[in-house]
Each structure stands twice: as C-alpha cells, then as structure tokens.
Amino acid sequence: MESTARSRARICRGCWDQMHVPIPIRGPLALPFRAFGITRSKMNPNICTICERSFRYVKKQRHISATATILFADIRGFTVLSERMDPVILSEIVSVFQDRCAQAVWAHDGIVNKQMGDGLMAIFNFPIKIKHHADAAVAAALDIQRSCTSALKSLELRVDKPSDDALGVGVGVHTGQVEIGEFSTFRSDFTAIGSAVNLAARLESQAAAGEILVSVEAAAQAPELMAGTQTRAFRLKGIEHPVLAQVLFKS
C-alpha cells in the first residue's frame, strides 16, 4: 500500500477539491476542529465529516450532480455460506473483506460510501476529484481481487466448506451522472443515487467469483486496463435491453 504524503493528507482533500477550503484533519491544527465535531471521515481517512454531510452548511444545496465512477463489490455465495458456517469465522471473513476493499479504494482516492455486510459501494471522483476516475476504480477493483483472494484463501483453510466453490469476490464498475446528497431525514451521511448507481449494482450482481464487470462507458474511459478483455452482453433486472460489459478476471 502506498504511504506517500498524498495518501496521508493534512487537509481534507474533499473540501479542498470541491470548495477550495482548507480543513485541517491531521496535526495540531486539526485539534480545534475536533472540538466542533469535524474529524476524519470513516469513508476515506483523507476527507472530513463536513464532506459526509455533503457540505450542507457551506454549500446550502440539497444535492449536487456529478460525473462519477461507482464500484460495487461483494462476496459471492455468501448467503449460502452464512447459513452453514460458524459465525465467528463468518464475521472474520466479512471484516477481512471490508478491510481489504477499503484499503484498495482509499489507495486510489475513492470513498467507501456504504458497507452492507458482505458488500460495499464506493464512489470515485467525489468528493476527491480524480482526472481518470474510471481508471482509478478499475485499478481499485483489481487490487480488491488480488488482496481478497489471498486473504480469503487462508481463511478457507480453517473451515469445512459446505461446497467445493472457492470463496471469491464479484465486482461491478460503471461511470455516469449521479446525484449526490443526503436523501434521508434521519441519517446525515451523503450517498449517490441515479440510474448509473443502479447499473453498477446490477453488473456486480452478475459478476462471478474473481470477475470484474466494467460497463462499456467505464471501459471507454480506462482503455489501457481493458486491453485484451472480452465483451459480454448481460440481461439486467429492470433494464429492458441487453447491457454490454467488459469482463476482467483476476490475474
């Protein structure tokens, strides 16, 4: 994992990129901010909790339109496993997965926006701006596959699995227009919504263990990482016509 200055920013990179406001998140200057509840975000250690509130007080906007790349990942076959496996091992598998995924997303300047048990949703290009955000998301997806495969394999050796299928991760990536804001009255975290988010989620649901499905829109933005991949057509729930995606296998 990178440990450059860039990966441990002193000021919030989200507030800086979106508003050009320097909010200290490390070092002595960060202390007075902490007294006001402004601290590092759990979504990415280089952004702050003002970003989590989607700049509500600063921007006075309920939501923002942005072009972003959305990544969904989950552990394939987890539901079946969870019915038969020791809960201690299960929770270990989930925490290893979530931890490895977060490291991979953060290394490429994305945020882990939602964690849903054995799955997660990450956003690239908000609030930290990334010139090549599709590249960043696909690179994070490759890192997720690499680091989860080895970690899950070592956990697998300790359990009697109910089936012969190896534990694996499926990933979906799509680039498009999203609405970012707070859409709940009882939670103050921001999220992204819109058809681009749904498409990324649906692609992920079609990815087999070890696969990364990248929509043609995202693939067009990340041509180098797509070299030599095959294109497949998918029928996705709620989408009338077949959707084309490039299939990347873990190496």
Instruction: Give residues in contact with Zn ion (CB under 5 A).
Output: 12, 14-15, 47-48, 50-51
- Which two structure tokens, joined as six digits, stand for 222? 């990340």
102 to 18, 46, 119: CA distances (angstroms): 22, 12, 11
Give CA–CA dist 204/173, Å, rounded. 7
- Smaller CB separation from Zn ion, 50 or 209: 50
- Smaller CB separation from Zn ion, 7 or 79: 7
Give CA–CA dist 11/5, Å, rounded. 11
- Smaller CB separation from Zn ion, 14 or 170: 14
Give CA–CA dist 192/112, Å, rounded. 12
Contact in structure between 73 and 204 (CB atoms under 8 Å): yes
224 to 135, 136, 229: CA distances (angstroms): 8, 12, 10
**Minimum CB separation from Zn ion for residue 210, in Å?**
35
- 116 has which bridge partners? 119
| 79 CB burial (10 A radius; 0-12, 13-18, 19+) | exposed
- Smaller CB separation from Zn ion, 15 or 212: 15
**Minimum CB separation from Zn ion for residue 178, in Å?**
19
Give CA–CA dist 161/90, Å, rounded. 11
**Minimum CB separation from Zn ion for residue 102, in Å?**
18
Cβ neighbors of 167 (< 8 A, separation 6 or more) are 75, 76, 77, 81, 93, 152, 153, 155, 156, 161, 209
**Minimum CB separation from Zn ion for residue 49, in Å?**
7
**Minimum CB separation from Zn ion for residue 244, in Å?**
37
**Minimum CB separation from Zn ion for residue 76, in Å?**
34
**Minimum CB separation from Zn ion for residue 23, in Å?**
5
- Smaller CB separation from Zn ion, 47 or 90: 47
- Smaller CB separation from Zn ion, 41 or 69: 41
- 65 has which bridge partners? 179
Give CA–CA dist 210/207, Å, rounded. 8
- Smaller CB separation from Zn ion, 26 or 146: 26
